[in-house]
Each structure stands twice: as C-alpha cells, then as structure tokens.
Structure 1
Amino acid sequence: MALLAAARELFVARGYTTVTVDDITRAVGCSRATFYLHFTNKMDVLARISAETMQERAAGVYRELDAVLETGSRAEFVGWVVRALDWFDRNREILPAWDEALAAEPGFQAIGRRSIVELTAAMPRYLARWPEGRRDEARFRVELLVTQLERYFTRSAVQGTIEFTGHAAAEILADIWFPALRAPG
C-alpha cells in the first residue's frame, strides 16, 4: 500500500515525531479522508509497518532460536546470534522510529509489549522444558536477551559507540546467553 511505503520512507528519513499525517498524505498525493479510511492515526501506520517487521522476527528468528536451543549446541547458538544481528541490520532504518514512538506514544507501548510476547510465543519447545512454575522466568530471560541484542545492535551499528562487532561479538554474546537460557535440570 502506498500510504505505508510513504510513511516508512518518511519515518526513516525524519523520525517518528516530526512526521505528520499531512506529510504522509502529501507524499502519496491523497487526502486526509483517504488516509483515515485506512488508518486511525500516525501511530496506527507505524504499528502496521512494525507488525510486518516484527511478525517476520517472531516467525523466523525466534522460532529458529527455539530449535537451536533444543540442540544444546553452543556453536549453533553462535550462528543464531549472527543471524539475529543480521535481522537487526536488515531492519536498521526503521528501528529508530520504533524507539522514538515507544518513548513518545504511551499507546505504542502496548504494541511493543505485544511484539515481545510474540517472540516468546514463537518458542513453545523452549518454554515446555521449563517447570510450569518457572515459565515466566524463562520468558523473562528471552526478553532480556532481546533487550541486550537490541541495545548492542543500536550502540554498535546505529550509533557507532561500540566497535566490537561481527563473529567475535557473537561469541561473547553466546558466552553470556547460551548458559543463561538453559532450562533447569
């Protein structure tokens, strides 16, 4: 859809908060009425863009993590970290707008929370290996992993404040997270 494509380009170029509905409609050459036939507001547009991006992440990246953790192989986990960081790299342009919306739009926090829940939901075998009374802990461990990967990627690839990258970074992240994600027993 042209409105989504235009909004994405604007969010990438200018950030979330500076873009208006009028900017989006002008870029496509349609009226505000047409915009509101498809979206309730600017946040709804970013939510739709993010849903596609995050759905790919949950469906692919974290479903794969579920299988990798089942193997018990640290080497496969390192490979997964490399692929997860590649996902961030492929979506690098829209991530700052996502972070900006999370800070600026209280309603967007529910969307951000739902995206995290979808990641752990994509890992049923991992969760099943944890005792029922500790599955919230297992989910929280995955959430912490996601958070660290996001921050690491932002600092290294977007901001340029961390210079340790590539396979060496994946090895260190695996040193931290491979044992931390193991189910008890």
Structure 2
Amino acid sequence: MGRSAMPERAAQLYAAATELFIERGYRDVDVADITARCGVGHGTFYNYFRNKRDLLESIQSRTVEELSAAVAGERPPSDWTCRAEYVAEFTDRARRAVTYIAKNRALVSFVVIAAPGVDEQAYESVLAAYDQLGAQATEFLEVGRRQGWIRDSVDVRIAGQAVVSCVLMATFPMLVGDGADVDPEPIAQACAAFLLGGMRRVLPDS
C-alpha cells in the first residue's frame, strides 16, 4: 500500500526504515533498529509489516508509483493539435521525471542501485518497474505515431524502454555523485531532443 494510505504508525515505521536503509544499507539494518528509531516496541512492527523484507517491497513499489505519477500528463492526447505541442508535452514529462529524481536522489539511488543486489526478488522488482515505466512511455509514443509525428517504422515498445533508459542514465551522475544541486531543465531538453529527434517523421519536400 502507498504510504499515504498507511496508518500513522505504519508510516512512521516506513519512513524510519527508508532512512536507515539509505544510511546503512539494507543488510545492516534489522527490525530492532527500525523500532528504536521510532521509539516503539519490537512487537509494534509486526502489527503492520510481516518482516524487514516486506518493507523493502513497499519502498520499491511506492517509489515507482510516485515516479509514474510524477510523469503522467494532465492533458489528454486529444488536446495535442500539432507536433510542437506533443514535443512540449514530452519535454515536460521528462522534466518532471528528472525533477522527481533530483528531489529524491538518495531514495532513487537506493531503489535503483542498491536494492537490486539484496536478492533475486528485489532484482526482479526493478525489472518489473522498468517494464512498467517503459509501457507508460510506449503509450505516449504510440499517440505520436498515430498522429504521424513519429515514423511508422519505429518500434514504440522498444523506444519506450529507450526513453526510460535515457532519462535514468542522464540522471545517473546525480545518483552516485556528491549531492550537489542539479538543474533538471538542460537534462530534460537534451533527452527530448535526442529521443524525439531520431524518431521524427521526415516529410518529403512539397
């Protein structure tokens, strides 16, 4: 369940676990550490979570849900009347993705880089998240193809995965960097220009 839907005590445990996993690493944190940070008894933890692994799953899924919501557009495709508006919407979505990552870099770094090494299940969760976000990008690109703004020959499923990869790798330096502030705008502009520029339908001279 999302943290917003959690009871207050569960949300406190979730927040404490997230902080500790980021600070120390998943393997160096146990349930006693989490409850101690919240100032509650050990048994309280099990009123809300099965075990530490249950919390990891919640952190992974919630982060993906938040990122997906951050990049979801507010305007329906019917509002896009020309390619310029479509490109502007794509750029805005890339900007929102980069902004979310920049604001939550420690969390995203843990989910993307550290969590997959916990076990096979955590690794599979990251792959599933990649597929989910890729499908979201694919849906957007399919609209562009139907409108004739993207070449028919483009495999939008693969292109959607490429969008996720491009944005993630463009933000990778901030995930492993020193925590310095990053301006999302040039990253979003570069991703949009690179990705859409190569897929644009080239019209014959009239």
> TM-score with structure 2 length normalisation?
0.67
1:126 aligns with 2:144: no
Quote how far apart the aligned CAs of 1:95 are. Answer: 1.6
Unaligned runs of 5+ in 1: none
Query: How is 1:164-183 mapped onto 2 (pairs within 5 angstroms)?
Result: 166-180=184-198
Q: Could you list the per-position Cα deviations for residues 88-132 of structure 1 after superposition, in whole angstroms to 9, with x for gaps in the alignment?
A: 11221212221211123211122212222322444545346669x
Contact 2:20 2:29 in 1 (8 A): yes
SS of 1:38's partner is: coil
RMSD: 3.7
Query: How is 1:111-150 mapped onto 2 (pairs within 5 angstroms)?
Result: 111-122=125-136, 124=139, 126-127=141-142, 137-150=155-168
Greater CA drift, 33-42 or 142-151: 33-42
* Equivalent residue letter for 2:167: L
Provide closer, same or farther for how the CA distance between residues 156 and 9 of structure 1 changes in structure 2, counting only shifts above 3 A: closer
CA separation in 1, counterparts of 2:50 and 2:202?
45
Percent identity over paired residues: 25
Contact 2:141 2:160 in 1 (8 A): no
The structure with higher relative contact order (CA 8 Å, sep 6+) is 1
Question: Partner residue of 2:94?
Answer: 81
Count the aligned residue pairs: 180
Greater CA drift, 80-89 or 51-60: 51-60
CA separation in 2, counterparts of 1:63 and 1:122?
11
Unaligned runs of 5+ in 2: 1-9, 147-151
CA separation in 1, counterparts of 2:31 and 2:145?
46
Contact 2:99 2:184 in 1 (8 A): no
Compare CA radii of gyration and give the structure with the larger one.
2
> TM-score with structure 1 length normalisation?
0.74
* Equivalent residue letter for 2:187: A
1:49 aligns with 2:59: yes
More helix by share: 1
Question: Partner residue of 2:33?
Answer: 23
